[in-house]
Structure 1
Amino acid sequence: MVGREIAAADHPSKEIREVLKRLVSKGWVLRSEGHWGTLYCPCEDHCTVIRVGGTPKNPSQDARRIQRKAKWCPLPPDDPRAALRGGGVVN
């Protein structure tokens, strides 16, 4: 992760902004990288990385793409099974 953290509310597209807000509230990290930003999953090893463009041709389709790719992250950080693959800490 290189760029500075940015707010989901900064995205110009309403559809994408709503998806980003939902993901950031679940622990995803949004950073200023690439053409607009990059989303990193909440896992320790950041198993899922999603590029977010600033001016997509079809914002609705791009929002669906981001949602679909977000499902690739297998476990939330507080899931005890995440420790088995090195993606979290078990108390």
Structure 2
Amino acid sequence: MGRRPALRTGVQMAQDEVSAAEIRKKYKGQYRCVGDAILYALSKDWVVRDQGHGVRLYCPCGGQLGRAVSVAGTPKFPGSCAKNIRRTVDKCPDDHDLIPGPR
């Protein structure tokens, strides 16, 4: 898969980061809801990295306080998986206000 420029302006993608186009291609058909949830995470500045058959989502704050979500390439229950991704993404920004230091 060819690498595309990052959605985040001014930030270079790492070698194993996945672009939005690759997410759409990988999660289509009955897994489209999972792809949409991952794209939602990308819109909230989460980092998506390739992890074998699936992907792993990383919180923008990183470090020990950061959250991470693993997503299988073909989840058994796509709707529940998508709901879990959105729930985790929505919970995370609340913690960012409490983290000291520059962001």
Q: Which category describes the TM-score, using the shorter chain as reference length?
A: 0.7 to 0.9
1:27-42 pair list within 5 angstroms:
27-42=45-60
Unaligned segments of structure 1, at least 5 residues: none
Please list the CA deviations of residues 1-58 of structure 1 after superposition, one character each: whole Å capped at 9, or x if unmatched.
Answer: x970113323321001111111101100000015411000111426100001111111
Q: Percent identity?
A: 30
Unaligned segments of structure 2, at least 5 residues: 1-13
User: What residue number does 1:58 align with?
Assistant: 77
Contact 1:5 / 1:31 at 8 angstroms: preserved in 2?
A: yes
Would the alpha carbon gap of residues 57 and 11 (structure 1) be closer, same or farther in structure 2, given more than 3 Å must change? Answer: same
| DSSP-derived class of the 2:70 partner | strand
Contact 1:31 / 1:37 at 8 angstroms: preserved in 2?
A: yes
Between the aligned partners of 2:88 and 2:99, the Cα distance in structure 1 is 22
Provide TM-score, normalisation by structure 1.
Answer: 0.72
1:1-91 pair list within 5 angstroms:
4-7=16-19, 8-12=23-27, 13-45=31-63, 47-75=66-94, 81=97, 83-84=99-100, 86=101, 88-89=102-103
Runs of 4+ more than 4 Å apart: none
Provide TM-score, normalisation by structure 2.
Answer: 0.65
Root-mean-square deviation over aligned CA pairs: 2.5
User: How many pairs were matched up?
Assistant: 83
Between the aligned partners of 2:59 and 2:18, the Cα distance in structure 1 is 15
